[in-house]
Structure 1
Amino acid sequence: MKSAFKSSLLALAGIALPAVASAHPAIGEAAGFSHGFAHPISGLDHILAMVMVGIFAFQLGGRAVWLVPTTFVLVMALGGLLGVSGINVPFVETGIALSVVVLGAVVAFNVKAPLAAAAGIIGLFAIFHGHAHGAEMPENAAGGAYAAGFMVATALLHAAGLALGYAVGHAGKRQGVLVTRTAGSIAALAGVGLLSGLI
């Protein structure tokens, strides 16, 4: 009950710990897979959005459990290709911040969207996240390894969201609803902070 609530909030905080105030800080001289892997877990915006995708997939249940995260990862790879190729996508940072707001709100309100609509929304936001990863690939990084790195890190963050959803689900219906609403609300508020430049 109370311990499950505290554990879930601690898990969410633990997932966000690697984040720093800047959304996309310099990561150092790492190249290829390691640099790609580090990019999604280096910014609060990416971490929150990816975890919310996992929780959203859990809330939808059924085929959405695997289809929603898979859609995000695959479409994000396409966005990454656009970024690496230098093809401009407007409002990337705004789109990323909005993804945190929208996904947080969707989780907080337990929105039961049709699978096609959920995949469409997820895919739209994945383009922005992928473009940011691709556009910030260092010159000395191997493109394929870098892409594999950010895709694996993203999938692991989705898995963390799914695991959090399952853990909360086993805490009991009433407590589970409270925890997911709280987690979604925190994410949405953080997204507003990112959108307004306060974070």
Structure 2
Amino acid sequence: MNRTACLRLALGTSLTVAAGAALAHPGHDAATVSASLWAGLAHPFTGADHLLAMAAVGVWSALIARSAADTLRLPLAFVALMLVGAAIGLSGVALPAVEPMIAASLLVIGLLLALRAKLPAWAGTLLVGGFAIFHGYAHGAELPATAGALPAVLAYVGGFAAATMALHLLGIGAGTLLRRHAGWLARAAGAGVALYGASLLVA
């Protein structure tokens, strides 16, 4: 399977999850479920911290991947562990240092991107997945008021999972292009992400 086919499969799966979550219980208020789905889809785009982290994971993955399948390893790990974090946030369990860890994710992933660092597969997956838990917790803890019933909650979660995967895929696309034509620009972008993360940590 080539890289384009892998990307299409991942995006299609994400959108199917979102749609399935929204339609899983048709007996409930469709407007409420729809509003929650759109809130979830929009949420990763409403904060520069989430948006930059997810895009950076995609770019870094494209720069260091050895194959098309390997390109999706980090994004899929991010989404999976993000859902774990969201479940923790939705449950009401307190997770310490959420905002500092989100800022740290920008600093660390930005530096890895700037250096085009290649970690062992297990280390990169563990690192990205660990940070994803905190991003997911923030999403889950900010559940909109419209998402009171389970179908609406599932729609919200499916929405931000699909949006996150879309950002990863955009990052992969950008990273693939830059890898071939302007690797220095990807590194400069990584440095910018790292600086933004550092500014959040000291703010």
1:147-158 alignment, distance < 5 Å: 147-158=157-168
1:1-199 alignment, distance < 5 Å: 31-61=35-65, 62=67, 63-141=69-147, 142-171=152-181, 175-176=182-183, 178-197=184-203
Name the larger-Rg structure. 2
> Which structure shows the bigger proportion of residues in helix conformation?
2
**Inter-partner Cα distance in structure 2 for 1:170 and 1:57:** 14
- Aligned to 2:58, the other structure's residue is in SS state helix
- Structure 1, unmatched stretches of 5+, are 1-28
**Inter-partner Cα distance in structure 2 for 1:83 and 1:182:** 34
| TM-superposed deviation, 1:194 | 1.6
**Inter-partner Cα distance in structure 1 for 2:122 and 2:70:** 10
**Inter-partner Cα distance in structure 1 for 2:145 and 2:119:** 40
Counterpart of 2:176 in structure 1: which amino acid? Y
Query: Does the 8 A contact of 1:64 with 1:115 survive in 2?
Result: no
Runs of 4 or more above 4 Å deviation:
none
| TM-superposed deviation, 1:116 | 0.6
Cα distance per residue 1:44-66 (max 9 Å; x no partner): 10111001100111122134311
Query: Does the 8 A contact of 2:63 with 2:176 survive in 1?
Result: no
Counterpart of 1:131 in structure 2: which amino acid? Y
**Inter-partner Cα distance in structure 1 for 2:39 and 2:83:** 15
CA RMSD of aligned residues (A): 1.4
Count of residue pairs the alignment pairs up: 165
